[in-house]
Amino acid sequence: MNMKYAQNILETIGNTPLIKLNTIIEDIEALVLAKVESFNPGNSVKDRMAVKMIEDAESDGRLKPGGTIVEGTSGNTGMGLALAAIVKGYKLICISTDKQSKEKFDLLRAVGAEVVICPTDVSAEDPRSYYSTAARIAKETPNSWHVNQYDNPSNTEAHYESTGPEIWKQTDGKITHFVVGVGTGGTISGVGKFLKEKNPNIKIWGIDTYGSVFKKYHETGVFDPNEIYPYTTEGIGEDILPKNVDFSIIDHFEKVTDKDAAVYTRKLARQEGILAGNSCGAAIKGLLQLKKHFAKEDVVVVLLHDSGSRYIGKIYNDDWMKEKGFV
């Protein structure tokens, strides 16, 4: 018998399960399968691209031994970067916004990251914004590398190389629809590119949120600042157009309200036993909003980004839900 073990925590990233959804999908006759990314060691899909971005930066010299990694992250990318930084010997500074759950910051600090918190309700260009602050800290910190997951092509490539092929293999090439929340755009663009190369008829649907620019831009080509306003759903939607969002690969954007995202996240836990994050409820509700497009023989894969452990003080907290008017 050969011993089987991982050399370090990073080797456990990927090969997450595909799980049939049974109750929450109501009367959809198609086979609906969840790609449950909370099985990654950092409990989210972002582990995949965090390691890929670091390894690519190491190989071309952007990231040097003993360096400091700087990134604007709402928590999940930070977690993936933190695990890689531990194994590879780097320091990590994460810049985030004050709308994110406190648990996310505590988790990042638990794995050795330094966390800097910025206001949410300022424009991306504002020097106080988390985009601007990340760029400034990277500039001021010696031997540092600014990851910039929004515009970093390694983000999309990670999903083209791992997530996409896994889904294709797990569905035996029978997938007809891929549904996922869109933030940086890396997951949808990488998985979508891979799947469409295998079968151009596969539909790639992005889930967006009210307060984000994606849907209108996709449908009209207009970047409309009037579409931008604060929202509670974490991890999807943007007030910028990241280079990783390949709008040509996406067939449709569906918007889901903050309330529905929260309510359906809770339903996933209660009805399927899948304790998932805020954007996962949005993905499920978006899928239900589009159910008239599914035929009985379809195979629909919905990617569930992260774990509910990040949201215990919010989505899974009755007081928070009441305060927001969601229950």
Q: pLDDT tens, 57-109?
A: 999 999 999 999 999 987 899 999 999 999 999 999 999 988 887 888 999 99
Contact by Cβ (8 Å): 303, 48: no
Same structural domain for residues 115 and 219?
no
What local confidence, expressed as pLDDT, does residue 100 receive? 80
- Shared domain for 65 and 25, answered yes or no, is no
Verify that 82 and 33 share a domain, yes or no.
no
Say whether both 17 and 132 belong to one domain: no
Tell me, yes or no, whether 265 lies in a domain.
yes
Interval 214-262: pLDDT, tens: 999 999 999 999 999 989 998 899 999 999 999 999 999 999 999 999 9
Look at residue 124 in the predicted model and tell me its pLDDT.
85
* Token reading at 279: 């954007």
Same domain, 117 and 198: no
User: Which tokens in the block code for residue 255?
Assistant: 């918007």
Domain for residue 157, yes or no? no
Closest Cα partner for 185 from 111, 233, 250, 139? 250
pLDDT digits (tens, 9 = 90+) for 276-316: 999 999 999 999 999 999 999 999 999 999 999 989 999 99
Q: Answer yes or no: do 65 and 85 share one domain.
A: yes
Q: CA dist 151 to 148, 154, 267, Å? A: 6, 9, 34
Domain with 295, as residue range(s), is: 9-39+162-323
> pLDDT value at position 74?
72
Q: What is the pLDDT of residue 133?
A: 95
- Per-residue pLDDT of 121-140, as tens digits, reads 898 899 999 889 999 999 99
Q: Are residues 19 and 122 in the same domain?
A: no
Give the whole-angstrom CA distance, residue 146 versus residue 163. 24
Evaluate whether residue 3 is within a structural domain.
no
Residue 32: name the closest of 307, 306, 294 by CA. Answer: 294
Helix, coil or strand: residue 95: strand
Instruction: Answer yes or no: do 249 and 116 share one domain.
Output: no
Q: What is the pLDDT, as a whole number, of residue 40? A: 98
Whether residue 28 is found in the same domain as residue 75: no
Nearest residue to 41 via CA among 107, 123, 105: 107
Residue 151 located in a structural domain: no
| CATH number assigned to the domain comprising residue 191 | 3.40.50.1100
Radius of gyration of the chain (CA): 19
Q: Which residues are catalytically annotated?
A: 46
Domains held by the chain: number: 2
- Domain annotation covers residue 171: yes
The structure tokens listed for 216 are 């209108």
What gap in Å lies between CA 121 and CA 129, rounded to an integer? 8
Q: Does residue 303 share a domain with residue 168?
A: yes
pLDDT at res. 104: 83
Domain boundary among 146, 181, 208: 146
- Residues 172-189 pLDDT 10s: 999 999 999 999 999 999
Does residue 294 fall inside a structural domain? yes
Q: Does residue 154 belong to any structural domain of this protein? A: no
Verify that 221 and 248 share a domain, yes or no.
yes
What are 41-50's pLDDT values in tens digits?
999 999 999 9
pLDDT at position 300 is 98
What strands lie across the sheet with 91-97, from one edge to the other?
114-118, 91-97, 68-72, 144-146
Q: Tell me, yes or no, whether 186 and 111 share the same domain.
A: no
Give the pair of three-digit tokens for residue 64. Answer: 């040097």
